[in-house]
Amino acid sequence: MSRVQVVASVEVDRTPAEVFTYLADVARHGEWSPRPLRVEGAAPGAPAAEGARFTSYGWIPGDAEHRNEVEVTQSEAPTRLRLRSTDGPVVCHNDFTVTAHGRGSRVERVMELPRPAGLVGFVFPVIVRLVIRPDLAKGLRMLKERVETASATA
């Protein structure tokens, strides 16, 4: 089965350490998700360590409470967070890279997922273009807003 990568990035007017602290608090991922998302089994207020596991419930077309078992496969503060989401035989990866950019940071998210078979696989490029890519970009804009607002009021 072939895999598809979807990439989005955003510039944040905060240091990589500030951005990573918020990003690695996986219990807060629902705060910057463009679709309903909740996380269970993650300690709020703490950065997720490599090997940490939690369950996420989020929206996908046709399933508003889609369950994924998620593992933190890499956590290197303040630059890299990698998550592996498993739904039965389907495995997706989300890589977040935070780099210094000017006086702030640049956050890049790379989502790698399998291309579905059959008819869904045929229309999948349209789903990526109309749903997945815009959602990734919107989520990063929401992350930016949250980090910049939280840092400004702290």
pLDDT per position as a tens digit, 88-142: 889 999 999 999 999 999 999 999 999 989 998 899 999 999 999 999 999 999 9
Q: Which of 36, 65, 39, 63 is nearest to 53 (CA)?
A: 39
Domain count, the chain: 1
What is residue 104's predicted lDDT score, i.e. its pLDDT?
98
What is residue 59's predicted lDDT score, i.e. its pLDDT?
86
CATH for 61: 3.30.530.20
Q: What does pTM read for this prediction?
A: 0.92
11 to 19, 56, 98, 109: CA distances (angstroms): 10, 26, 10, 12
Range of the domain at 59: 3-153
What is residue 60's predicted lDDT score, i.e. its pLDDT?
82
What does the pLDDT look like over 7-65, one tens digit per residue? 999 999 999 999 999 999 999 999 999 999 999 999 889 889 999 999 999 988 788 89
